[in-house]
Amino acid sequence: MRVSVITFPGSNCDHDAQEAFAYYGHKSRLIWHKDRDLQNPDLVVLPGGFSYGDYLRCGALARFSPIVEEVMAFAKKGGLILGICNGFQILTECGLLPGTLLRNIGLDFICQHQYIRVEDNNTAFTHQIPEGTVMDIPIAHKEGNYFCSDEILKELQDNHQIVFRYCDKQGNINAEYNPNGSRENIAGICNRTRNILGMMPHPERAATPYVTSNDGGKIFAALEEYFNLN
């Protein structure tokens, strides 16, 4: 699988993502935000960090980087895109995913291990993971509070676009285990055609045996198997 990881000014998880994919045997490369060539990838990754210092609002300036035009064209052709943390924020700014990410309900930056539950496995990113599976994947953000209108929320529910929700170790979902105030405990969503996933947790930080949890590796394994089957 060929993976292109986009680097914006302020990205700080681009190398983490590249190395995680390399660990699973994928050909990954870094693409500078001013470039206009995605280099024929199977998957594009918008990594975590603080693109353009999060000025104005998260992802608002990165949305206008030249490479994002190519990412949007890639999306329209059905190409797979994974947006992690700041990458999720950029995808909402682009309109590739609905809703927006607001400041955490406590207005604090949160950096901790977090349990999330798989709500839908009908995506390339989760197809090997049984629905209801609880995973321990770190979060690190100040603007991770997913918000959308009631109309959009109903569409997400009706179309099974909610892929991950925050939960406890047993998979219980309620406000107590919602770290940032996201609607419906939403931690990740996909688009209607299911080729674009945005998630606040960092699977690349939990992808190898050398860290506390390697639950994020399940997402990388699912992607690998998806391309093997297709």
Q: What is the dihedral of CA 43, 47, 142, 215, to 10 degrees?
A: 70
Yes or no: say if 205 and 16 are a contact pair by the CB < 8 Å rule.
yes
Catalytic residues: 85, 202, 204
Alpha-carbon distance of 137 to 201, in angstroms, equals: 6
List Cβ neighbours of 121 (8 Å cut-off, separation of 6 or more): 127, 128, 129, 130, 131
Burial of 47 (0-12, 13-18, 19+ CB in 10 A): buried
Alpha-carbon distance of 80 to 44, in angstroms, equals: 6
Yes or no: say if 70 and 38 are a contact pair by the CB < 8 Å rule.
yes
Q: Which amino acid is at 17?
A: A
Structural element, H or E, at residue 141: strand 134-141
